[in-house]
Amino acid sequence: MTSGRRDWLYFTGWLLTGAAYLLALLTVLSIGIFILPIPLIGTVVLATRRGALRCLPGLVSSAGLPLLLLAYLNRNGPGTYCTSSAGGQSCTEGLLDPWILLAAGLFVLAAGVALFLKVRRRPVVGGVPSHSL
C-alpha cells in the first residue's frame, strides 16, 4: 500500500475514532459507556501504528461531524415545520439555522483536512514529523 493511501486511511481512522468519542460523550447518560470502548480500542490501535500520529488532524475534522448532523436535523428550520399524514398533522420547531451549522461543520472538517495536508508534507523521522523532534 502506498504511503499516501495509508495516510488517508489513518486520517479516516482518527476521524472515526474522534466521532466515536463525541458520540460517547453526547450519549454519556444512556449508551455512552457502552460506546466508549470502541474509540479507546481505536486510539490504541492507531497510536501504535508507525506514521499514524501525523494523521491526528483527523480528530480535528471529527469535531465537524456533529455540526453537520445538527444541520441535517434542523434542515427545515428555523421556525415551525409541519408535515401531514393520513393520521393527522405533526409540527416540529426548528431552533437553529441549518446554514450556519452547515458552514461551521464544513469549516471544521476542512480545517482538519488542511492541517493534515500541511503536516503530511513535512519529512517524517521514525514515524514522527521531524519538526516535533
Integer Cα distance of 43 and 31 in angstroms: 19
The residues near 19 (Cβ < 8 Å, ≥ 6 apart) are 62, 65
pLDDT of residue 133: 44
Give yes or no for a contact between 90 and 82, defined as CB atoms under 8 angstroms apart.
yes
Cell numbers describing residue 27: 450519549
Q: Which residues of the chain have pLDDT under 70?
A: 1, 123-133
DSSP 8-state class, residue 105: H
pLDDT of residue 70: 84
pLDDT of residue 125: 58
Give yes or no for a contact between 68 and 105, defined as CB atoms under 8 angstroms apart.
yes
